[in-house]
Homo-oligomer: A and B are copies of this chain.
């Protein structure tokens, strides 16, 4: 019986896990044989370590968005743990929307090319009728040097290259969202207005497919502001019209910030919806 409880300095230095696992089968019916290191202050449950290993494979691109990952039994065999432990790891990854389970088919890497996740990052809904996806119009795409504030939020150096995008989104012809985006130039090489205009569907789908960057979560700060002349012109409203100002930082695997977005939402016939639970 081998020791299942591992002592780890951090979740990043987890790779040698295999060598700490039992190499011989556990006696049937036997429970967990604890090592004497179990009181370690850096103790981490086995399933958390497995979760970190799976996350690493997602991050490294071993399994790409939309693809099938190995079955629970295969992963259990690879990591030398029971299927139940792999299951608990995948349970959490599924709860965090990193993977999607489908009974009878398998577990798939989450992708933004799916109806079910279409409105996960678009919280503006019409006051009447079912949510639907807006039309995109790209106003401007340019390369520039990151201002200090942009660099800080993207965790890059001030003056580093960033891609700036301005677009307007309309619902049934009515301009409703003005977005300004800043993306790290090192990741989004070759992003042009043409490519953005050609692409139909959510921008995060394009980012994922064309630039290998999958967004896993975002953090938003919302304020109320008034439209200035430039904004009023772009959204076709009067100067002084109250608008939602939504500042978003989006993160990819490893909680790395890879998008800064400032959206101005016209909330006359739409609202930002939020569930508190």
Contact = CB atoms under 8 A, between A and B. Distances in A.
Interface centre among A121, A224, A265, A276 (most CB of B within 10 A): A224
A62 interface: no
Contacts of A149: none
A242 B225 contact: yes
Interface in A211-265: 216-226, 240, 242-245, 247-248, 265
A83 to B, nearest CB: 15
A242 B123 CA distance: 20
A244 to B, nearest CB: 5
Given A219-B275, A220-B276, A276-B217, A242 B267 contact: no
A150 B102 CA distance: 41
A214 to B, nearest CB: 14
A267 B120 contact: no
A274 B245 CA distance: 13
A218 B218 CA distance: 21
Interface string A37-54: 000000000000000000
Nearest to A226: B242
Contacts of A265: 224
A273 B226 contact: no
A218 B276 contact: yes
B221 A224 contact: no
Interface bin, chain A? 20 to 34
A121 B276 contact: yes
A277 interface: yes
A272 B225 contact: no
B274 A220 contact: yes
A200 interface: no
A38 to B, nearest CB: 15
Nearest to A265: B224
A277 B255 CA distance: 12
A97 interface: yes
A67 interface: no
A277 B223 contact: no
A142 interface: no
Interface of A: 95-97, 120-121, 123, 216-226, 240, 242-245, 247-248, 265, 267, 271-277
28 contacts: A95-B95, A96-B277, A97-B277, A217-B275, A218-B276, A218-B277, A219-B274, A219-B276, A220-B273, A220-B274, A220-B275, A221-B273, A222-B271, A222-B274, A223-B267, A223-B271, A223-B272, A224-B224, A224-B242, A224-B244, A224-B245, A224-B265, A224-B267, A225-B242, A226-B240, A242-B243, A244-B244, A274-B274
